[in-house]
Amino acid sequence: MQRPSMICPHCGASHTDAAIAAALKTCPTCGYHYRMEPQERAAYLADEGSFVEFGERIISQNPIEFDGYEEKVKGAAEKTQLKDAVLTGRCTIEGRPAVLALMSFTFMGGSLGSAAGEKISRAMHIGAQEGIPVILYATSGGARMQEGVFSLMQMAKTAAAAAELDAAGVPYFTVLCDPTTGGVTASFAMLGDIILAEPGALIGFAGPRVIEGTIRQTLPDGFQRAEFQQKKGFVDMIVKRTEQKEVLAKLIDFH
């Protein structure tokens, strides 16, 4: 008999790894959403056997010769089995063609460097050129400080690519996961035609403690969580992971 091996940080219930995996890495008791890797997302979003990766040869360089950066990237790659913080590819979702860009928070906090920015931009270019909807799952701590201004340039680059999608009339949907912050929030993550979010996801630019220290006020409960952001109009829908494939297929049809 398999013993409970994970305790939910939200409700305290204990469940086996298998039970959590079967619920797409959510708590079977309360629905708490654990963080998820891009390969896992591709497995539940894409129709079986349909996901084909592209951009896998795009890797990070060290443009400002930041000490120890190559070692950090190598360690993150070994840990995640990814070349950088984004996995991109074509697939079908319930028979509808789509381009996916899936971010990994495990890879250096999902930080936006030159390689990640290039992969996301290429995904958008392919969507615009081929008329295929683009779906991006965002999770990030923001810009990758080890690349300096080259990282900040990715904000403008990805925003321009999103504008290309808009000009071509091709749908662009974003799904904000826990956490989505910093320069990613300030660029491509919030430019979707429809902005979805996973339940409980932290969504913002600066962290709550930084904001409280700046404005010298106590923030309301749940500040920057997906539910709060939806009430304020920054998020269109909050969608449980178990329902995302169906919802995305319907959004593709509607657009």
Is residue 249 very low, low, confident or very high in pLDDT (cuts 50, 70, 90)?
A: very high
What percent of the chain has a predicted confidence (pLDDT) above 70? 98
d(CA 9, CA 158): 34
Does residue 26 carry a pLDDT above 80?
Answer: yes
Domains of the chain: 1-34 (no CATH), 36-254 (3.90.226.10)
d(CA 191, CA 138): 12
Task: Count Cα neighbours of 213 within 13 Å in the Cβ-side half-sphere.
Answer: 5
Closest CA to 141 of 111, 178, 119: 111
Average model confidence (pLDDT) across the chain: 95
What percent of the chain has a predicted confidence (pLDDT) above 90? 90
Question: What is the pTM assigned to this prediction?
Answer: 0.94
DSSP 70: H
161-194 residue pLDDT tens: 999 999 999 999 999 999 999 999 999 999 999 9
Is residue 211 very low, low, confident or very high in pLDDT (cuts 50, 70, 90)?
A: confident
pLDDT, average across residues 109-130: 98
Does residue 93 carry a pLDDT above 80?
Answer: yes
d(CA 255, CA 250): 9
Is residue 1 very low, low, confident or very high in pLDDT (cuts 50, 70, 90)?
A: very low
Contact, 77 vs 83, CB < 8 A? yes
pLDDT, average across residues 211-239: 91
Is residue 206 very low, low, confident or very high in pLDDT (cuts 50, 70, 90)?
A: confident
139-160 residue pLDDT tens: 999 999 999 999 999 999 999 9
Does residue 22 carry a pLDDT above 90?
Answer: yes
In the prediction, which pLDDT does 215 show? 87
Q: Which residue has the higher pLDDT, 101 or 222?
A: 101
Is residue 212 very low, low, confident or very high in pLDDT (cuts 50, 70, 90)?
A: confident
